[in-house]
Amino acid sequence: MDKTQWISTVESLLRANDGVRLEDASVPSVYRAVSRATMADILDTWESCKRGSKKRVGYLSAEFLVGRAVYSNLYNLGRLETVREWMAERGVDISVFEEIEDASLGNGGLGRLAACYLESGATVGLPLDGYGIRYRYGLFKQEFVNGFQKEEADDWQRCGDPWSYRREDESVLVEFADYAVRAVPYDMPVIGYGGKTVNTLRLWQSEEAEGFDFAAFDNMQTDKIAKNRIRAESISYALYPNDSTERGRLLRLRQEYFFTSASIQDIVRKHKAKGLSIDTLNEYVTLQLNDTHPVFAVPELIRLAMRDGLDFEAAFLLARSVFNFTNHTILGEALECWDMKRVRKLLPAISDILRLMQRRIAREFPDGSLYLIRNNTVHMANVAIYAGSHVNGVAALHTEILKASTFRDWYAVYPERFINVTNGVTPRRWLALCNPELSAFITEKIGDGWQTDLERLRDLSKYACDPTARSEFAKIKYIRKSLLSEHILKKEGVLLPPEFIFDVQAKRLHEYKRQLLNAFSILYYYFRIKEGKEPSFKPTAFIFGAKAAPAYYLAKAIIKFIQSIADKVNNDPEVNDKLRVVFVTDYNVSYAEKIMTAADISEQISMAGMEASGTGNMKFMLNGTVTLGTMDGANVEISEEAGIENEYIFGATVDEVGRVKENYDPHAIYESDPELRRIVDTLDDGTFDDMGTGMFKELKNSLFGGWSKDHYLVLHDFRDYVRVKSQLNRDYGSDEFLTKCILNTASAGKFSSDRSVLEYAKHIWKV
């Protein structure tokens, strides 16, 4: 379509669907028309891609954190500028689409990774489709009331869902012991850069199995009618808001089986519709399990294969040749387990198959060293490793930890199954689209092509010490900071002067990520500035973005603590020309796109060994930000790529953590360090007010008392952290510092998700 055709398509869609003329149309109307015009435009490519390859990859994931689709789809199709101009001619800025909600069908890193992988798959031309759940409500929206987090429902379809088609005729029945539901697929196109490949993200929605119950209606049993409907729809009603951990709840079990059963039935049905028998499925399909949430797909495939006449052994071997498993965390409480009594009650056929699998492994390992079910509990990661071809960790360090400890016994028996695929992020969304200024700079220096061949960024290295390039880079960062500053002023009511250093920690709130350590460092500078001990401290704005799981008490306490610090610091005229603190509201993908481009410092300060990879760290790096971090997850590879002298690394390493923990005494550190003691004491000396909740006292207790005893070594790493943070503050603004920033962008090539998916394709999927 050229521009005129485009405009007339959009105009007729507006008339037909919303009954408005362009000049009277609301933003949501224009949004729907633009989206649908784009959908019509890609239809032929989409259809031919579905048939294009013999073997397809299915990426099974309970979460796809896709964010806002309109800009990235238009960008990938090369239409963004056309639409921008067309709207501008009518006096509308394309940024009006920012009022369209993100699709937040994921919690954080794991879900965002799935979205990046689909986009990269389509860009590099892999036949990669996603399968997940079409939650009615995505991750909650965050608000603050007196500094406390409050959760609101996320009605992401408020302006409709023009980026998907309901495929009623491809619905499948999913059966639980007590009732069955209908899984209705909604297909979203996944548009690769350049628009040559369009893959599919198929999200299942749960609905009532039978149609309307007229008998019940006749008998005035409206309660029964409503109940059945709610019961069915509840399965895909809401995303569980826990990042990394989910307690074994019945509805969660239903969700997991719901979308995996629907996906497997769908895949098998399509396979058989080609006239093929199920035992050849592995020649046509390979399935990636994104963490343990989709692992019920394994017994489900075995069940269907046995129903088609394969014996258990053949069905098991078929599954093994189809499935692969990605592990995302070593947090003990996140290794998913289910009580077999529950599984048997809800999914009797699946329970039987899991028992057959356990019997098989018990025959192979009579000493019980490897098992799937123990103490009547099924360990989903074990199922995935046993019944899959490959297991991968998500960063080099993480994979080493899996081999050496988490899955040591498995690694001893199946070493050839273990492989590392370091995570990546899509450079289209996380650089080209979100940072047009830096993108133009890069293209001007090294030419086009880096968007799909990110290793080319290396060519920027030769400009790292170039005075002109350095000052251009500094100007760009200043522009990005000004834009973020305006946005934050508007949204949060806090002014961050762009001349300040922007020191950012944006990620889910978790004790292991140690936002508390960052908070302590702010108080450290706060007290020292007030005492005149930091005469040359360069003004710094500390920016936080994070959601806490609604039931995670200590995470919420940390939010309230940081909010209290922000209140104190921002209103203290003695320090607020040196320090500002803001906790942004409702951190999500769209906010991240603004934040990542404007940061001077990327805080990646998890206790070593805890962050499997991180992907936020990569987004910052790509946008020319130095990492202030521990030797954890992909930070290790980031410092390898950029050179450790271009990052700010501190704290105990994995080995040191192990040694320190042997006889750790947080109280001794507290007693011997008066400055730190004063900071920790603000939790219960009346400096801050937790409004009678007792939260702050509990936070303090987590450092000394009970089980926890500063489990994540906040006190242990504190001194090294502020030492390096102060060094960074001294370095900031120098020519050498700008060189580090440019070298970070120049060294980020490895962290393209294009590289990641190609590694999966070569070593795991064999496509």
Ligand X SMILES: *Cc1c(COP(=O)(O)O)cnc(C)c1O
Q: What are phi and psi of 209, to 5 degrees?
A: -75, -55
Token pair of 713, please? 């070594």
Active-site annotation holder among 56, 136, 254, 619: 619
Stretch in the footprint of ligand X (CB under 6 A) among 52-60, 573-581, 614-622, 693-701: 614-622
Confirm or reject binding of residue 127 to ligand X (CB under 6 A).
Answer: no
Q: How far is the CB of 279 from ligand X (least distance, A)?
A: 40
Q: Are 346 and 254 in contact (CB under 8 A)?
A: yes
Instruction: Say how many C-beta atoms besides its own lie within 10 A of residue 674's C-beta.
Output: 9
| Nearer Cβ to ligand X (197/745) | 745
Name the minimum Å distance from CB 392 to ligand X.
17
Structure tokens at 710: 């500063």
CB atoms under 10 Å from CB of 289, counted, come to 28
Q: Which residues contact 153 (CB under 8 A, 6 or more apart)?
A: 137, 140, 141
Burial (CB count within 10 angstroms: exposed 0-12, middle 13-18, buried 19+), residue 28: middle
Strands 128-133 and 198-208: parallel
CA angle at 464 for the pair 462 and 468, rounded to the nearest 5°: 100
Give yes or no: 490 in active site: no
For residue 143, give the H/E element and its range.
strand 141-145
**Of 507 and 580, which CB lies nearer to ligand X in the complex structure?**
507
Binders of ligand X among 620-649, rule CB under 6 A? none
Q: Strands 180-191 and 165-166: what pairing?
A: antiparallel
The token duo for 655 is 């080995």
Give least dist CB 662 to ligand X, A. Answer: 29
Residues 370-399 that bind ligand X (CB under 6 A): none
Candidate list 615, 739, 745, 752; residue touching ligand X; CB under 6 A? 615
Q: Does 128 bind ligand X (CB under 6 A)?
A: no
- Within 473-599, strands assigned E span 501-506, 540-545, 579-584
Question: Dihedrals φ, ψ of 525, to 5°?
Answer: -70, -35
Closest to ligand X by CB, 118 vs 297, is 118
Beta bridge pairs of residue 148: 145
CB 106, CB 201: distance < 8 Å: no
Active site residue 513: yes
- Report the residue from 121, 185, 616, 629 that binds ligand X according to the rule CB under 6 A: 616
Binders in 544-583 for ligand X, by CB under 6 A:
none
Minimum distance of ligand X from residue 590's CB (angstroms): 8
Q: How far is the CB of 65 from ligand X (least distance, A)?
A: 6
Contacts with ligand X: how many residues (CB under 6 A)?
A: 12
328 is an active site residue: yes
619 a catalytic residue: yes
Cα atoms in the Cβ-side hemisphere of radius 13 Å centred on 701: 10
* Closest separation in Å from C-beta 633 to ligand X: 8
Secondary structure string (H, E, C) spanning 641-681: HHCHHHCEECCCCHHHHHHHHHCCCHHHHHHHCHHHHHHHH
Q: Per CB under 6 A, does 112 bind ligand X?
A: yes
How far is the first Cα of the chain from the last one, in angstroms, to the nearest whole number?
A: 32
Residues linked to residue 603 through DSSP beta bridges, in sequence order: 628
Exposed (0-12), middle (13-18) or buried (19+): which is 221, by Cβ within 10 Å? middle
Classify strands 172-175 and 180-191 as parallel, antiparallel or unpaired: antiparallel
Measured from the CB atom, the residue of 616 and 624 that comes closer to ligand X is: 616
Token code pair at residue 543: 């920016």
Shorter beta-carbon distance to ligand X: residue 106 or 195: 106
Give the position of tokens 């200590």: 554
Q: How many residues appear in the chain?
A: 767
> Known catalytic residue: 274?
no
Q: Does 109 bind ligand X (CB under 6 A)?
A: yes
Residue placing its CB nearer to ligand X in the complex, 195 or 633: 633
Contact 114, 147 (CB under 8 A): no
Of 388 and 424, the one with the shorter C-beta distance to ligand X is 424
Task: List Cβ neighbours of 255 (8 Å cut-off, separation of 6 or more).
Answer: 62, 133, 235, 236, 240
In whole angstroms, how close is the CB of 330 to ligand X at the nearest point? Answer: 15
**Applying CB under 6 A, which part among 106-114, 200-208, 279-287, 653-661 lies near ligand X?**
106-114
Question: What's the closest the beta carbon of residue 757 comes to ligand X, in angstroms?
Answer: 17
Distance of closest approach, residue 620 Cβ to ligand X, in angstroms: 9
Instruction: Select which of 36, 79, 202, 328 is catalytic.
Output: 328
Segment interacting with ligand X, rule: CB under 6 A, options 30-38, 108-116, 407-415, 724-732: 108-116
> Could you tell me the smallest distance in angstroms from the CB atom of residue 229 to ligand X?
33
Q: Name which of 382 and 588 has its Cβ closer to ligand X.
A: 588
Taking CB atoms, the residue at the shortest distance from ligand X is 616
Residue 492, amino acid: E
Question: Which residues sit opposite 128 in a β-bridge?
Answer: 57
Considering only residues 506 to 525 of the shown chain, the ones binding ligand X according to CB under 6 A are 507-508
Show contacts with ligand X in window 14-53 (CB under 6 A): none
The minimum distance between CB 426 and ligand X, in angstroms, equals 11
Sign of CA dihedral 238, 242, 243, 247: negative
Closest approach, Cβ 495 to ligand X, in A, equals 24
Per CB under 6 A, which of residues 582..601 are in contact with ligand X?
588-589, 592
Q: Which among 107-115, 281-289, 438-446, 469-477 is the span making contact with ligand X, rule CB under 6 A?
A: 107-115
User: Tokens in use for 186?
Assistant: 């909604």
Report the C-alpha gap between 81 and 87 in whole angstroms: 10
CB 119 within 8 A of CB 433: no
Judged by CB under 6 A, the chain residues 205 through 244 that form the site for ligand X are none
- Which of 585, 687 has the CB closer to ligand X? 585
* Active-site residue (options: 422, 615, 625, 739): 615
Residue 575 backbone dihedrals phi, psi, to 5 degrees = -120, -15
Task: Provide the minimum distance between the beta carbon of 112 and ligand X in the complex, in angstroms, as a whole number.
Answer: 5
Is 740 a known active-site residue? no
Q: Which is nearer to ligand X, 102 or 690 (CB)?
A: 102
Cβ proximity to ligand X: between 614 and 624 the closer is 614
Q: Residue 588 or 646: which CB sits closer to ligand X? A: 588
Q: Which of residues 698-717 bind ligand X (CB under 6 A)?
A: none
Show the site string, 239-278: x = touches ligand X by CB under 6 A, - = not. ----------------------------------------
Which residue is catalytic, options 136, 182, 252, 513?
A: 513
Identified catalytic residue from 507, 700, 750, 755:
507
- Helix/strand/coil for 495: coil
CB distance 183 to 204 below 8 Å: yes
Q: Given candidates 58, 185, 614, 651, which one binds ligand X under the rule CB under 6 A?
A: 614
What residues between 417 and 446 interact with ligand X by CB under 6 A? Answer: none
Q: Which stretch binds ligand X (CB under 6 A): 89-97, 104-112, 155-163, 213-221?
A: 104-112
Kindly tell me which residue out of 58, 108, 147, 427 binds ligand X, with binding defined by CB under 6 A.
108
Residue closer to ligand X, measured from CB, 192 or 616: 616
Contact track, ligand X, 461-500, x by CB under 6 A: ----------------------------------------
Q: Which of 710, 506, 729 is nearest to 623 (CA)?
A: 506
Report whether 70 contacts 100 (CB < 8 A).
yes
Give strand pairing partners of 543: 504, 582
CA dist., res. 516 & res. 696, Å (int) = 11
Which residues are known to be catalytic?
A: 328, 507-508, 513, 615, 619
Query: Which residues sit at the interface with ligand X, rule CB under 6 A?
Result: 108-109, 112, 507-508, 588-589, 592, 614-616, 619
